[in-house]
Structure 1
Amino acid sequence: MRVPLAVRGWVEWLRRFAATTPGAIVAIVAAAVVLCLISGLVGAEELSGKTARRDAALQRSEPLADAAQRLYVALSSADAAAATAFLTGGIESRDVRAHYQQALAEAADALATATAGASDADTRAIVAHIAADLPTYTGLVETARANNRQGFPVGSAYLREASGVMQNSLLPNASRLTEQRLAAVRADQRAVTAPPWFTLVLLVIVIGAAVAASRILLRRTNRRINTGLVVGAGAAVLALLWIVAGTFVARGAIDTGAQGPTARSDNLAQARILAQQARTDETLELITHGDPTAPEHDFGTKTQLLNNALVAATPRDSPLRQQFQRWLNGHQTQMSAYDAADYSAAVKQAIGPEPESSANRFTELDTGLRDNLAATRADLRGQIGAAGDGWFGAAAGTLVLMVLAAAGVVAGLWPRLKEFL
């Protein structure tokens, strides 16, 4: 295909014009304006995305992670309460029954929140499994309760089956949901604190282009300094420094280490769940009236994991560790009575109202874990908010600076161009 003569003429004219000093100045102005505006627009978009991720973390991913944790804890608490209620025999106390019902209500509320926030197929499948298994579990518990009130031994079998549904289906699914939600929180944290690499690269290109353009103009006009290019480069440097400072502020605001609120929240939630599960084992081994070796082994495994979580989340002198040790001491008293064939004393130690009973010591530990989780969540949300605040004004500021840079280049080079016109 042959190029029309008119087009070839224009191309040849542009080639000759670009070889002249006015042509070089025009080319520099055009390239500078395009680079500055692209940098400003990309920067505004990328930096706005960071504050948007901060808002998403505070309004969606963190509340959903909290709901998943609450669901996990509530299910474990309901299982422990059901076992405690069964151990009382006959009609359980009003407080024990209220604890079980409250745990189920909290689980239902957390499940509703998680369901409302379920957007991917995997999450919806997990939530559907939990929603399907929860009525099965409560039905088995009520059947066990009805048989227990009538003194039928089969009630303990129904309770063990209910606990099996909890341990083998409900809790593993709740654990998967919690892990997914915590992963989403960590992803939002990384997005908020990560440097805006595209913007940084473009700003460095703008600064480098300004230096290269100054060298070209020096050879052609013998002017060492051009005000327009200095203004453009200065604006780009200011934007670069602003973004670097914002990155340091954002990264410094969030502690993602082992002692940061994200890790502490995960460890404390695991500790509370393990405590609830160990409490279930503590009561089930009395309900079965059999050899306590296997349930005692399960209790020891869970309490060891619980201790590891507390060590990871709390200092050595933490009240939580002291509460945990007091509960273990109460459990040892309970097992000593059971091994001595004093079943009534063992049951009294497990669920009795005495200050040193296992029930009171466990309640003390569970309350401490709950309060620490609430405080850690507040720390986490505060850090995410502070990280987002580190980018305050950066998007608009970068865009304004780069528009000023483009305008500065045009205003500074226009007098040089007029000298040749």
Structure 2
Amino acid sequence: MSTVAPVPAGRPAPPAAPGSARSTGSTTAADPTGLPAPGRDMVVDTPGLLNRWQLIGMSVAVVFAVVSALLQVLGWQADGRAADDTEQLIRVQNIQSSLLRADALATNAFLVGGLEDPAQRAEYERTVDDVQRLIADAAQAQPADEKVLAALNVEVGDYTTAVAQARDNNRQLFPVGAEYLSDASTSLRTEATPLLAALVKANTARADDSMAGQHPWWLLLVGAVAVAGLVWINQQLARTFRRRINVGVAVAAGLVAVTTLVAAASAFVNDSSNDQLRRGDLAVATAQAQARTAANDAKASESLRLIRRGSGAAFEEQWKASAATVQRTLQRGTADSWRAYREAHRRIVQADDAGDWEGAVKLATGTADTGSTATFDRFDEESAQLVGASGAVVTAELRSGREVALGLSLLTLLLGAVAAAAVARGIAQRRGEFA
């Protein structure tokens, strides 16, 4: 058994043997793991921490820029789709109105035995041509509608064929012509009208969804998360280096905050503008298109009532239903012409109920300014102009300013890169101080 010799006073202690624990007021055993003993100060890898914080801060700035720019591009694309969807909606409603306009012209011309009025015949053919052209344009503009439009085109062809047969018989004064015409009108409403109603519904939904494609709240959320991440990095730097603010990180946070506010404000403005368009001009255009469609349906029912000659009570009920739709949906500037037509129709019904069928037909087909045809034509023309003008305002507003939105998205990417560079510069300063 060995003993440890005491160290003489005033002489340094000999170095500890390899593997032994150095005492600092108490004796401890060696730690075979090589880790500092509990309670000892940990060695901090400051350069490694700075590298990690720099990577996190730059990533926050870059991810913010990319996501925010992407949201702005999606809003830019949504406005473009909304303009296209609105045009398609107006186009489909014009098909609907024009097809029933053609039926109103065909049935009114049928009231005149033999050869119908050449001008009225030409207008009918021109209206049918417009319908077929609009169907082709609609199929090209919206591939999702192609199948329904193809089926509609078949129904339009069947309708025009039946009308041509009815005219051939009417020129020869054959009563069977009335049956052909009545069947053509009925088939138009039972086969073609549901297809058009489905198209109107689908395109209305598309237009509404596209006009709601701005993302202001998401932009605010992304910006808030990015600012919070940069504030956290600044706090870590402040705790390590005893400095409250890192200029580079603060500049990056400021750029992110300002960019977020500008982008979100622009998105809020666009979203509000789209809401106003939806409640304003788009609502006017779609409602008046419905009124025009229902009015042409009413005009055709008026003629079919007289064609049936004494047994057309069912068509008068159809006229009342269509007239109620017109009254509910007609817009500014068309009420007077509709009121004039309603008065002309009232005189037709009064004459027919009194047994004066020839007088009723004369009122329905005459060219007098206060007659049924003239007053209705004024209403139809005013309606078409209002629908076209209101629809043009909507599409123009949706397409205007889109360059600004795209420019803001590109600016966001640029400012995000600047923010990332500011983070790198700010942390580089701390790295230089540490070195």
TM-score normalised to structure 2 length: 0.86
How many Å apart are 1:54 and its aligned residue?
2.4
1:80 maps to 2:100: no
Partner of 1:179: 201
Q: Distance in 1 between matches of 2:358 and 2:51?
A: 97
Q: Where does 1:154-193 land on structure 2 (aligned, <5 Å)?
A: 154-191=176-213, 193=214
Contact map agreement 1:71 1:111 (CA 8 A) in 2: yes
| 1:291 CA drift (Å) | 2.9
CA drift of 1:257 comes to 7.2
Task: Determine the structure 1 residue equivalent to 2:270.
Answer: 250
Paired amino acid for 1:23: G
1:265 pairs with one of 285, 299, 323: 285
The CA deviation string for residues 360-409 of structure 1, in whole angstroms up to 9 with x for no partner, is 11001101101110111122113312463562422111111111110001
Structure 1 pair 385–117 and aligned structure 2 pair: CA distance change class (3 A): closer
Helix, strand or coil at the partner of 1:98: helix
Between the aligned partners of 1:302 and 1:219, the Cα distance in structure 2 is 76
Q: Which residue of structure 1 aligns with residue 304 of structure 2?
A: 284
Match of 2:125 in 1: 101
Letter in 2 for 1:76: L
Q: Which moved more, 1:166-175 or 1:353-362?
A: 166-175
**Alpha-carbon separation, structure 2, partners of 1:194 and 1:79:** 45
Which residue identity is paired with 1:163? Answer: S
Where does 1:298-317 land on structure 2 (aligned, <5 Å)? 298-310=318-330, 314=331
Pairing partner for 2:342 from 299, 304, 328: 328
Residues 89-127 of structure 1, C-alpha deviations (whole Å, 9 max, x = no match) = 21011111011101101110011112223423xx33311
Among 348, 363, 381, the alignment partner of 2:377 is 363
List alignment gaps of at least 5 residues for structure 2: 1-40
Q: Tell me how far apart the structure 2 counterparts of residues 396 and 65 of structure 1 sit (CA, whole Å).
A: 32
The question of whether the paired residues in 2 share the 8 Å contact of 1:84 and 1:351 is answered with: yes
Superposition map of 1:35-50 within 5 A:
35-50=60-75
Displacement of 1:85 = 1.1
CA drift at 1:37 = 0.9
Aligned partners of 1:61, 1:258: CA distance in 2, in Å?
Answer: 12
Partners of 1:402 and 1:130 lie apart in 2 by 51
For residue 20 of structure 1, report the CA deviation from its aligned partner: 3.4
Alignment of 1:331-410 (within 5 A): 331-386=345-400, 388=402, 391-410=405-424
Greater gyration radius: 2
> Distance between the aligned counterparts of 1:327 and 1:344, measured in 2?
19
Q: CA deviation at 1:211?
A: 1.5
**Distance in 1 (alpha carbons) for counterparts of 2:279 and 2:372:** 30
Give the gaps of 5 or more residues in structure 1: 1-15
1:29 aligns with 2:50: no
Secondary structure in 2 aligned to 1:184? helix
Q: Does 1:418 align with 2:432?
A: yes
For 1:265, give the aligned amino acid: A
Task: Please tell me whether the aligned partners of residues 252 and 418 of structure 2 are also in contact (alpha carbons under 8 angstroms).
Answer: yes
Specify whether residues 17 and 40 from structure 1 end up closer, same or farther in structure 2 by C-alpha distance, changes over 3 A only.
Answer: farther
Does the 8 Å CA contact 2:72/2:409 hold for their aligned counterparts?
A: yes
Alignment correspondent of 1:111: 135
Following the alignment from structure 1 to structure 2, what is the Cα–Cα distance between the partners of residues 240 and 17?
40
Aligned length: 396
Greater percentage in helix: 1
- Code of the residue aligned with 2:131 in structure 1: it is A
Q: Structure 2 counterpart of 1:188, which letter?
A: S
User: 1:188-228: per-residue Cα shift (whole Å, max 9, x none)?
Assistant: 1111x33261x443321221012112222222111011101
The residue that corresponds to 2:148 in the other structure is: 126
Q: Which residue of 1 aligns with 2:3?
A: none
Q: Write the distance in 1 (CA, Å) between the matches of 2:280 and 2:302.
A: 32
Q: Give the Å deviation of 1:61.
A: 2.3
Change (3 A) 1:373 1:17: farther
Distance 1:106 1:17, change over 3 A: farther
Distance between the aligned counterparts of 1:48 and 1:17, measured in 2? 49
Name the CA shift for 1:173/1:40 in 2 (closer, same or farther; >3 Å).
same
SS at match of 1:128: helix
